[in-house]
Chain A
Amino acid sequence: MSARYAGDRTTGFASPAADAVEGPIDLSQILDLKNPSRYPVRVRGATFMGRGILDGDILIADTAGSPQVGQLVIAWAAGRVLLAELQKRDKAWWLISGDDTHPPLQVDPARDVEIWANVTSVVREKA
């Protein structure tokens, strides 16, 4: 069967590559999708075009890390799920809009503005 031949088990001449098979590249491994803290999230809107993120892109979000300046994050704000940039001002964290259409929004779980995950990778199904 086709799935069982990986460049190794030839019938006539022995494959010189038999001990060197590495298999195809596994993107789920590279994106670490089996890690319990990794979640795929779909982007709606294009305000982060400047950072190379388009409408319909899939982001790989990681819920395990800690906040970093300049990091793209998935945030929850008053019942909405947002993609925003994280900045620090006066010892507080702020959500920054991608194209300055919205004023900065202070991260404050007491007011239902909180970071859900850091964005670690972008996947575009059709380039």
Chain B
Amino acid sequence: MLYGLIDCNSFYCSCQRSFDPELKHRPVVVLSNNDGCAIARTAEAKQLGIKMGEAWHLVRHERKLSDVRWFSSNYPLYADMSRRVYQVLLDYSPRVEPYSIDEMFLDLSGFAVELHAHCGAMRQAVQQITKVPTCVGWGPTKTIAKLANGLAKDRPELEGLCDLTDSQTRQKFYRNVSVGEVWGIGRRLLPKLHDAGMRTIEQFVEAKPAHIRKIMAITGVRLQAELQGESCLQIAEIAEARKGMACTRSFGRPITTYEEMHEAVTGFAAKAAEKLRAEDQDAAHIAVFIQTNRHRRDEGWYANQFSISCEPTNDTFAICQHASRLLKRIWLNGYRYAKAGVMLNDLAPHGQQSTLFSTVSTKPEQESLLAAMDGINQKFGSGTLFPLSAGIKRDWKPRQAMLSAHYTTRLEEIMEAQAW
């Protein structure tokens, strides 16, 4: 077997750049939900010293950052660009596993000859078609492919491609690279490995399995085998249907009244129910949580969650009612709430798990109403039709003050070209 990993460079920023020529040479930063902190930075932005997780409101006025273009995260755009990258890759590998929105594992077995040219052409195609730059690494296991990808990204002399198929090449890298660079070895684990005398990957690979097992159990042993070229992890292709569904948000400003929180939670419940119907599932367990700002404990800290089991349903109105009842149980006056959410669990295909004592099974006319609602929201945009209890003003919505156009998903926002 031969595995590849392709990773999009500064993916969210690159997506913004795909449609805006003015961003070409400028530092670009994309902010987290609610315009909180930096979650993607171009190389130019990194050079200016902007750190991952840096809070936008603390640095926005710094003079040396005056040239930076800041963007609110535009997830519909990034999802569509990820879809495009995936589709391009299918021309270069029979099996592609989208591991995250911006990195995908590839089955490269059968391309052994001219693999360097093959990966180079693939990288070039993604760049031309989506305008998104990438790096590709490959080797006999997923862990090695991931490592190769990291090297391709960190070492400009590799020109975006890194081949760790050959065990002698690997040995050379293993000797000089920290074990912390290995997929799955996080900061918490690193000191323990250091204490056990494992600083480089070479030391980790040559350690006794029993020794590693003591520190990181079976995962560590599997990781060691993978680094030795023995494949333990397969290509998984598309993720299985989710076991739970959630809609949670940070608010643009603190919520202090029950009425507003009720609107927010109802809105989240409605959104979660809509997602449920889109996957044709029912939920039999509903949870609601609310919390104040974790970083402002001086203002008083409160967080609570309550949940119930219920008849399996995907009916917006039933789920909103449950959520409303749950909220009543946990609400406390006098706090400044920063975040809330609704989680749906115990999912099963719609209509399948009707119970013997079912009392509230969705009536046909209710099904039609929900289908009509989903139809209207699909046609005229999400949130066109919603339960009134979710509120109309909703000015606590997350801040998205620097949102770019939805270039590929909304016709009224597509790129404009001047007839020359």
Contact = CB atoms under 8 A, between A and B. Distances in A.
A98 B415 contact: no
B418 A44 contact: yes
A36 B417 contact: no
Given A36-B84, A40-B411, A81 B416 contact: yes
Given A64-B128, A64-B129, A98 B411 contact: no
B213 interface: no
A108 interface: no
A107 interface: no
B408 A45 contact: no
B88 A36 contact: yes
B257 interface: no
A82 B87 CA distance: 27
A8 interface: no
What size tier do the contact residues of chain A reach?
35 or more
Nearest to B371: A1
Name the interface size band of chain B.
Answer: 20 to 34
Given A37-B129, A63-B128, A112-B24, A74 B420 contact: no
Contacts of A89: none
B157 interface: no
B416 A48 contact: no
B419 A48 contact: yes
Contact of A84 (B125, B128, B414, B420): B420
Interface string A26-51: 00000000011101111111111000
Contacts of B417: 41-44, 59, 74, 81-83
B298 interface: no
Contacts of A43: 416-417, 419
B222 interface: no
Nearest to B129: A37
Contacts of B85: 36
B419 A81 contact: no
A95 B419 CA distance: 11
Interface in A82-127: 82-84, 95, 97-98, 102, 112, 116
Contact of A76 (B21, B414, B416): B21
A94 B49 CA distance: 39
B87 A83 contact: no
Interface string B128-140: 1111000000000
Interface in B333-386: none
B83 interface: yes
A83 B21 contact: no
B415 A39 contact: yes
Interface string B57-97: 00000000000000000000000000111011000000000
A21 B245 CA distance: 38
A35 B84 CA distance: 8
A58 B417 CA distance: 10
B22 interface: yes
Q: Give the most central of B85, B131, B419: most A CB within 10 Å.
A: B419
Interface centre among B24, B83, B85 (most CB of A within 10 A): B24
A41 B416 contact: yes
A12 interface: no
B128 A45 contact: no
A63 B129 contact: yes
Contacts of B24: 76, 79, 112
A47 B130 CA distance: 28
A41 B415 contact: yes
Contact of B420 (A37, A79, A95, A112): A95
Q: Which of B83, B415, B420 has the most CB of A within 10 A?
A: B420
A97 B414 contact: no
Given A63-B128, A64-B129, A80 B419 contact: no
23 contacts: A36-B83, A36-B84, A36-B85, A36-B87, A37-B84, A39-B407, A39-B408, A39-B414, A39-B415, A40-B408, A41-B414, A41-B417, A42-B414, A43-B417, A43-B419, A44-B418, A47-B419, A64-B125, A77-B21, A78-B21, A80-B21, A81-B21, A98-B419
Interface of A: 35-37, 39-48, 53, 55, 58-59, 63-64, 74-84, 95, 97-98, 102, 112, 116
Given A78-B21, A97-B420, 18 more contacts: A36-B84, A37-B129, A40-B408, A40-B411, A41-B417, A42-B414, A42-B417, A44-B416, A45-B419, A46-B419, A58-B411, A63-B129, A74-B415, A77-B21, A83-B420, A95-B420, A98-B419, A102-B420
3 tightest A-B contacts by CB?
A45-B419, A36-B84, A36-B87
